[in-house]
């Protein structure tokens, strides 16, 4: 590292993170969506399986979709054993990602609290803690005395309309720098020969005799025997291009960030009942979000309604923040399956794979989703970790009900 610093200091031209290469008319694998998921899959295809004739097609700039529109919370304290195992494997990969990519993704393990304001929520947290521990994940129920030492800033009095009774405490949870994750995977994939094409929108998917044969793009047709759809929010539209109907509805999820404050909050705080989650970034800003908008839409515009509701709920938990200014807000698209678990893997169209249905839980899954889908694409075998999340589970009456562990209301 000191040598790199010295080289830059002496004026060596910085290495480009990724390159603009010509768009070929055929690839072995086309990945639609240049977010953390698509880029991670490209990276692991190249690194773990030597599959490098891969194009990542992104309709805007990389990371402009869900990867740049989340609140970068990481955790694995889900409700179902399938969900816990999957997200725990993701957290493990995130923990080693800076070293793996030789790029600082600013992973910060700081603990995660999910507050319970009524008896029903306490029961759910207790159940989550049991499932987590059976799967070897560190989670436990804590009560106000202990909460006061984990997060002394919380209003634990009986003043709030919804006093805090207990919380699920998950020490391994944390946050990360979401752009860095996108850039790190892009650089790693590019270095291994993957082509990243920004501003290249897919407008059609070609299928012949039940198998995918390529895609149509705003820059012309591209042939490919394998196509992965990895776009947050747009999966139903893309699947429709391949003649498939997915059980998904798309909702906007809004979030915002405040002016920077001196560090005071070193744990992620979530309240499903108050529809709020809050963490403090490395730059001191509070990153906060609420539940999905109460209607389906593809809009990423922010609303005053969201800010008013969110501010009221944040002040229930942290009344001393009343004078803090909000700097900006944004929205991402969340496509919600009926059981609140993702859709990954094969489809009835041969060679057409899904990385979809990420609701409000997509960014935290990026590494493990990319790694397992890369294995599936390269070997033709579905890894056990993602088998429960196959599309056919609905027809087989085998859902993975995660609603109780979603951080936010839906
Ligand atoms: O699942 O941790 C979560 C989450 C936070 C914000 C949206 N989803």
Sheet holding 326-336: strands in order across? 140-142, 166-170, 112-116, 268-271, 276-280, 286-292, 249-258, 326-336
Of residues 397, 145, 108, 75, the one with CA closest to residue 247: 397
Task: Check if the beta carbon of residue 343 is closer than 8 Å to that of residue 321.
Answer: no
Condensed to tens digits (0 to 9), the pLDDT of residues 179-190 reads: 999 999 999 999
Ligand 1 center to 290 CA (angstroms): 9
Please, which pLDDT band fits residue 1 given cuts at 50, 70 and 90?
low
User: For all residues of the chain together, what is the average pLDDT?
Assistant: 95
Ligand 1 center to 12 CA (angstroms): 41
The tokens 């919370």 sit on which residue? 73
The number of beta carbons lying within 10 Å of the beta carbon of residue 285 is: 19
- Alpha-carbon span 373 to 138, nearest angstrom: 27
pLDDT of amino acid 219: 98
Residue nearest to atom 2 of ligand 1 (CA): 407
pLDDT of amino acid 9: 66
Please, which pLDDT band fits residue 404 given cuts at 50, 70 and 90?
confident
**What tokens does 112 get?**
């995660």
Nearest ligand 1 atom to the CA of 405 is 1
% pLDDT > 70, the chain: 96
**Range 80-95 burial, b when 16+ CB lie within 10 A, else e:** bebbbbbbbbbbebbb
Task: Check if the beta carbon of residue 271 is closer than 8 Å to that of residue 361.
Answer: no
Nearest ligand 1 atom to the CA of 74 is 2
Ligand 1 center to 71 CA (angstroms): 7
Please, which pLDDT band fits residue 12 given cuts at 50, 70 and 90?
low
Give ligand 1 pocket residues (Cβ under 6 A). 71, 73, 75, 277, 289, 360-361, 407-408
Condensed to tens digits (0 to 9), the pLDDT of residues 249-261 reads: 999 999 999 999 9
Ligand 1 center to 99 CA (angstroms): 25
Ligand 1 center to 277 CA (angstroms): 7
Residue whose CB lies within 8 A of the most ligand 1 atoms, among 115, 257, 289, for a mutation test: 289
Using the Cα atoms of residue 7, residue 9, residue 13 and residue 18 in order, give the sign of their dihedral: positive
| Residue 114: pLDDT over 70 | yes
Condensed to tens digits (0 to 9), the pLDDT of residues 354-380 reads: 999 999 999 999 999 999 999 999 999
Ligand 1 center to 214 CA (angstroms): 34
Ligand 1 center to 73 CA (angstroms): 6
Average pLDDT of 88-106? 98
Residue nearest to atom 3 of ligand 1 (CA): 407
| Residue 248: pLDDT over 80 | yes
Nearest ligand 1 atom to the CA of 360 is 8
- Alpha-carbon span 132 to 78, nearest angstrom: 7
Nearest ligand 1 atom to the CA of 361 is 1
Reported for 149-154, long-range contacts at CB under 8 A and 24+ positions apart, including other chains, are 150/111, 150/113, 150/267, 151/113, 151/265, 151/267, 151/269, 153/264, 153/265, 153/318, 153/320, 154/115, 154/269, 154/317, 154/318
- Alpha-carbon span 175 to 407, nearest angstrom: 14
Residue nearest to atom 8 of ligand 1 (CA): 360
**What tokens does 182 get?**
């996108």
Please, which pLDDT band fits residue 36 given cuts at 50, 70 and 90?
very high
Q: Which helix (H) or strand (E) holds 256?
A: strand 249-258
Least confident of 11-20, 129-138, 309-318: 11-20
Task: Check if the beta carbon of residue 184 is closer than 8 Å to that of residue 191.
Answer: no
* Residue 277 bridge partners (DSSP): 270, 289
The tokens 């109907």 sit on which residue? 245
Ligand 1 center to 341 CA (angstroms): 13
pLDDT of amino acid 87: 98
φ, ψ dihedrals at 6, nearest 5°? -60, -45
% pLDDT > 90, the chain: 93
405 versus 18: which is more confidently predicted? Answer: 18
Condensed to tens digits (0 to 9), the pLDDT of residues 154-169 reads: 999 999 899 999 999 9
Nearest ligand 1 atom to the CA of 255 is 6
- Alpha-carbon span 182 to 66, nearest angstrom: 11
DSSP string, 278-319: EEE-TTSPEEEEEEEPSS--------HHHHHHHHHHHHHH-G
């Amino acid at each position: 590292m000191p040598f790199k610093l010295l080289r830059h200091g002496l004026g060596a031209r910085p290495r480009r993170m990724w390159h603009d290469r010509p768009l070929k008319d055929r690839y072995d694998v086309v990945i639609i969506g240049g977010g953390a998921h698509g880029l991670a899959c490209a990276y692991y295809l190249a690194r773990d399986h030597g599959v490098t004739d891969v194009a990542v097609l992104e309709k805007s700039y990389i990371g402009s979709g869900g990867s740049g529109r989340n609140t970068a919370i990481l955790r694995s304290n889900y409700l179902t054993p399938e969900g816990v195992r999957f997200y725990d494997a993701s957290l493990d990969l995130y923990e080693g990602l800076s070293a793996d990519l030789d790029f600082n993704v600013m992973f910060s393990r700081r603990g995660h609290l999910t507050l319970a304001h009524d008896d029903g929520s306490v029961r759910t947290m207790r159940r989550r803690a049991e499932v987590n521990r059976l799967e070897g994940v560190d989670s436990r129920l804590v009560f106000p005395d202990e909460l006061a030492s984990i997060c002394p800033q919380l209003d634990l009095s009986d003043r709030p309309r919804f006093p805090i009774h207990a919380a699920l405490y998950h020490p391994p949870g944390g946050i990360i720098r979401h752009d860095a994750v996108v850039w790190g995977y892009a650089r790693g994939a590019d270095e291994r020969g993957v082509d990243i094409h920004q501003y290249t929108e897919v407008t059609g998917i070609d299928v012949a005799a039940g198998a995918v044969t390529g895609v149509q793009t705003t820059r012309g047709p591209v042939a490919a025997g394998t196509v992965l759809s990895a776009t947050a929010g747009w999966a139903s539209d893309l699947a429709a291009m391949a003649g498939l109907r997915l059980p998904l509805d798309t909702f906007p999820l809004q979030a915002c960030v405040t002016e920077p404050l001196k560090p005071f909050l070193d744990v992620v705080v979530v309240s499903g009942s108050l529809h709020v989650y809050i963490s403090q970034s490395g730059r001191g800003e509070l990153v906060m979000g609420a539940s999905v908008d109460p209607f389906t839409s593809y809009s990423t515009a922010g609303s005053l309604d969201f800010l008013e509701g969110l501010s009221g709920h944040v002040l229930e938990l942290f009344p001393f923040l009343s004078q803090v200014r909000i700097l900006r807000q944004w929205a991402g698209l969340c496509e919600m399956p009926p059981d609140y678990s993702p859709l990954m893997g094969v489809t009835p169209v041969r060679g057409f794979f899904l990385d979809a249905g990420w609701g409000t839980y997509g960014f935290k899954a990026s590494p493990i989703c990319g790694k397992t889908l890369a294995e599936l694409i390269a070997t033709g075998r579905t890894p056990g970790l993602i088998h429960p999340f196959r599309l056919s589970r609905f027809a087989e009456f085998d859902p993975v009900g995660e609603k109780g562990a979603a951080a936010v209301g839906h």
